[in-house]
Structure formats: structure tokens, C-alpha cells
Amino acid sequence: MQHQWEEFNLKHLVKGLVAATALASVLTASVVTAEEPKRGGTLVTVLGANPRSLNPAVQSGIVTGYPGAQLFAAPLRYDEDWTPQPYLAKSWDVSEDGLKVTLNLVHNATFHDGHPITSSDVAFSVKVIQENHPFKSMFAPVTSVDTPDEHTAIINLSKPHPALMLAMSGQLMAIIPEHIYGDTDNVKAHPRNNKDVVGSGPFKLVEFVSGEHVILERYDDFFIEGRPYLDKIVMRVIADPAARAIALENGEVQMSGFEALPRIVNRLKKVETLTVTSEGYGAIGPLDWLAMNTGSDGPTGNVKVRHAIAYAIDKNFILKALMQGTAVEAKTGIHPDSPFYEADVENYALDLDKSNALLDEAGYPKNGDGVRFDLTIDFGWPGVKPQVEYVKAALKKVGINVTVRASADFPTWAKRMGAMDFDLSWDTVFNWGDPVIGVHRTYLSSNIGKGVWSNTQGYANARVDEILGMAGTETDPEKRKALYSEFQKIITQELPVYWTNALPYHTVYSDKIGNPPLGVWGTSSPIDMVYLKD
């Protein structure tokens, strides 16, 4: 009884304290009001690899995206809720038939050399991106860009193209100056992609020393009044994740994006001065999966075998033991944070009996040694070796003898995948904004065997081709969602790949950082709102 009383008393005490704290915080809040962003200061942040180019119009990828989105502005930006916001375009309009997208540019925008940013720069940028950017699907339906006046750009489309909205944001549509890059047909090799960059974004380039750092400085005539808040950004190139973690811990570096090693993410979560969040990766949409050669004449060509493989793999083991609780489950080819994600799909929870039964049904009985057949599994980078070893061990339980084929490096693996010379492989693929850009490529039969990260599984389903074709041009969001829902139900039935988890990307930032970049594009969007607290 006494014990109960004590507990009761303690609860009271705690409640009282909570109430008092709440009251206190209300009081202080009314005095301070929501924290006012502060101008000035230098943010030290990191890049996990050396960017090949600082010009996102010709070079994709996350290490170009971070400095690229600071140097160059896009027409739109996105908030945390997938809602487009005005940026270089103060407003926009999509015509009734979906074939004309009109951008009304802000009037006071200038490039870093003082030249005004006009609609002809927009038209030029679209052309350069169409010619050089690897994501051809972004602007494939764009037939021309009209420029009725300096501040109006009309994008003409051959068919409705809802993916254009996300493709006009983040790092995907950098507006680059025609008067600088217009002097050559090969913008990819332009020397000013890496030095003396003249950008349109909130920060201008001071110095880029390859392999060392990118230094950016506030552009005082940026078109949004009062922004950016920071005076300077130093992006250090630190390739070693352990060294990056130590630099974050001791305060040498104040912010880092795309940290994905579970061990390091969990360690940094324990550091008091740091916040670790997985927010801000919805648009990048990175997924881990087990690819299965669906077009193969071997066992993986049989859908029952693919089901059996899925039933033999314990996703919980991958999430809890390998990812150490840092990653969320992925059930389909669309990232769980996407508005198009369909959670109500076949889930293949661990069931060895079912797996064995399916393999028997498929005509692969166990031989005298308990082995049904042999498969190989590939992987392209050392980080995913644990997953590959786990798959080997898990499939052994149902009589599939898996041999791990290591690749010396990424190109070796990419060659095998591109040539569809594999049974199973671990793979990581990004959604890159709209499903049209990063999702369709894996499942369209017209994209079979076109190099790494195409439809390397050799998956072909006429209905999927049809749905994706319709979803790519459907302008009504609800109807589009329904189409993608059907698509996800089909692919989870046929399993050209078995999705396991979203890659555990995390943004780590110190408690000195205000307004960390947590929109759907994370650090691949402008950080003009980030500021340093006192």
C-alpha cells in the first residue's frame, strides 16, 4: 500500500512539474515570441564526395545538388507537405488541357553578375537540361518554350505532364545564364561549371577546390528581400563517414545531410548538441531492394520462386539487426513518404513453410542434400554486403543455395546489371521526385536492359506499361493516385524486386542551426532560410 501511495504522490509531483514547466514556457514564449531568424555567420557543412560539377543542369546527384541548389534558383520550391511554393516564378498556371504551363517570373531577379534573369534564360535552361541531364523523362514532353515577354515563360507540352511540377524544383531545374553558357554546344564540358560560376540562387561561388571544399558567399542582391540569412557557407569534402561523425560531434561541422550508416546515425542520436532526423528525403526517395532477374530462364523467372524468396526473407531482421532501427519499411517501389505511396499491398511476412510449399509447387523439389537449386547474388558497393550475406543465409533455410558474387568496384557491378547477367542483386534506387522520373524506369518494359538503374530485372507487364503511361499524363491528382495504387498492387504481386526498406538517410544538425532544411528536397533545395543562433 505504501508503495502505491508513493507512486501516486510521485505522479502528482511529476504532473505538477510538467504543468509548471508548460506555464513557464508559455510565459517565456510570450516574451520572446517565435524565434526571429538572425542574419550573419558562417555555416560549416560537408559533402560526402567530391562534386564533378557545380552545375545541376548538366550533372545530377546529391553532391552536386547541395551546392548546386544554393548557386542556382529553380522556378519552384517545395515545403514539407509536397506543396509547390513560388520561388523564381512568383506564380504559375497550367492550362485546362494540361498542354501549356505558364511561369510568371519575379521581376527583380538577377544573376550573380548583375544581369537580369529573363524568360529566355528559362527557355535556354530547359534546352540545356533536355540535352544534358540524365533524367530524360523530366522534360521529354516539352516541345518548346515561348517567351512572350521578359518575365513570362510558357512551356508547351506534347501531352499533359504532371511530373513537370516537381521537375521544376529542387536541384532538377537550375536556371542558368544564357549569356555565360550559351557560347558552346557542349555545356557539360563548360569550364564555368566549376569556376567563376555565375548563378541565380541565394549564394554565389567564392572558391571550389576539387576534393577539398566549396565556399559560398551570400548574394546581396538575391531576389527575396532579406535572404539568405547566412553570410557564408563552407562545404568541406569529407568522404569518410567516421571522420564526418567526429567532426559533427566536436562541432567543427554544424550540419550534414545523407548520413546513412546505422551505426553512425545511432551514435550521433546520443549526442546532446545534435539533432538527427530522417525528414527531408521524401522527394529523393531512396529505396533498398533485392532485385530478381524476372526475365531469366532460370528459377527467378518463375513468380512462385520470387514469392518464395520474399517469404523466406525476414524484413524485421533487416530493419532491426542490419539497419538497427534507423530505417523504415518499404513495401512497394514508391517511397513511403510520397503522396502516391500505397501501403495496402501484399506484404510477404516471414513464412518458411509457405516458402517451401511454393518452391515445391514451382517444380523445384529438394535433392538428397536438401538443395533445390543454385542462385548467385551480386552487390555493387561494400555497404550492402551484410544484406547480401543475410539473403544467402535466409534462402539456405528453404533449400536455395546462394553464391555471393563480389564486384571489384561499382563499374564491374553496373556492367553485370546492365547486361542482365545476374540472378539476384542488392540494389538502391532513388525515386527522384515524381514517380515518372525515378519509378517508371524500373518497371516499364520499354526500358529493359538500358544500363544500370533501368529495368534491369527484365520485367514486362502490359497492364503496368499502360497504367504508367496513363499516370504520367493524368492531371487529376486523385485519379493519378488511384492509377499508382493499382500499379503498386500489381508489382507487389509479381515482385520483379522485393523492396525491404527506405535507405536510412538522415540530416544531422547542431542546436545552433535554425530552420534546418527539412522540406521534401532536403539539402537539394535552397537553404536561404537557414540561420545560426547566438
Partner 1 sequence: MSFLKSFLIRAIYAIILLIAVLVLNFSLMHMAPGDVADTISQSMGGADAELLAQIRSDYGLDQPFLVQLGNYIGKVLQFDLGYSFFYNQSVTSLILQKLPATLLLVVTAQILALLIGVILGVYSARHPNGISSHFVTFLALFGYSAPVFWTGILLLIGFSLNVHWFPVAGMRDVTVEGGFWPHFVDIVRHMVLPVITLGSIFLALYSRLSRATMMEVLGSDYVRTAKAKGLSEREVVYKHALKNSLSPVITLAGLQFSAVISGAVLVESVFSWPGLGTLAFQSIIARDTPTILGILFFSALVVIVGNLLTDLALRFVDPRVGGKG
Give me the residues that bind partner 1 (CB under 8 A), please.
42, 44, 49-50, 52-53, 59-64, 134-136, 188-189, 193-194, 209-213, 215, 234, 236-240, 242-244, 246-247, 249-252, 408-416, 418, 429-430, 432, 438, 441, 447, 450-454
What's phi and psi for 148, nearest 5 deg? Answer: -60, -35
Comparison of 455 and 485: residue with beta carbon closer to partner 1: 455
Comparison of 438 and 519: residue with beta carbon closer to partner 1: 438
Pairing of β 42-47 and β 400-406: unpaired
Comparison of 204 and 372: residue with beta carbon closer to partner 1: 204
Distances (CA, A) of 426 to 65, 99, 135, 397, 422: 25, 39, 22, 19, 11
Comparison of 189 and 343: residue with beta carbon closer to partner 1: 189
Smallest distance, Å, CB 453 to partner 1?
4
Comparison of 438 and 526: residue with beta carbon closer to partner 1: 438
Q: How many Å apart are CA 342 and CA 181, to the nearest integer?
A: 42
What's phi and psi for 441, nearest 5 deg? Answer: -55, -30
Rounded (to 5) percent helix, strand, coil in the chain = 35, 20, 45
Smallest distance, Å, CB 229 to partner 1?
17
Contact, 510 vs 273, CB < 8 A? Answer: yes
Q: How many Cβ atoms from other residues are within 10 Å of residue 342's Cβ? A: 18
Contact, 25 vs 17, CB < 8 A? Answer: no
Comparison of 446 and 515: residue with beta carbon closer to partner 1: 446
Comparison of 105 and 527: residue with beta carbon closer to partner 1: 527
Q: Where are the beta strands (DSSP E) in 358-457?
A: 373-379, 400-406, 424-430
Amino acid identity for residue 370 in this structure? G
Smallest distance, Å, CB 497 to partner 1?
15
Q: How many Å apart are CA 423 and CA 342, to the nearest integer?
A: 28
Comparison of 106 and 234: residue with beta carbon closer to partner 1: 234
Comparison of 236 and 304: residue with beta carbon closer to partner 1: 236
Smallest distance, Å, CB 39 to partner 1?
18
Distances (CA, A) of 450 to 183, 417, 442: 32, 10, 10
Q: How many Å apart are CA 456 and CA 412, to the nearest integer?
A: 15
Q: What is residue 73's three-state secondary structure?
A: coil
Comparison of 108 and 412: residue with beta carbon closer to partner 1: 412
Smallest distance, Å, CB 407 to partner 1?
8
Smallest distance, Å, CB 533 to partner 1?
18
Cα dihedral 179, 183, 188, 192 sign:
negative
Residue 234 CA to its chain's centroid (Å): 23
Smallest distance, Å, CB 194 to partner 1?
6
Smallest distance, Å, CB 314 to partner 1?
29
Contact, 327 vs 502, CB < 8 A? Answer: yes
What's phi and psi for 213, nearest 5 deg? Answer: -160, 160
Residue 151 CA to its chain's centroid (Å): 31
Comparison of 211 and 365: residue with beta carbon closer to partner 1: 211
Smallest distance, Å, CB 182 to partner 1?
19
Long-range Cβ pairs for the range 514-518 (8 Å, 24+): 514/35, 514/37, 514/38, 515/37, 515/229, 516/255, 516/275, 516/277, 516/280, 517/257, 517/280, 518/80, 518/277, 518/279, 518/280
Smallest distance, Å, CB 277 to partner 1?
22
Smallest distance, Å, CB 27 to partner 1?
37
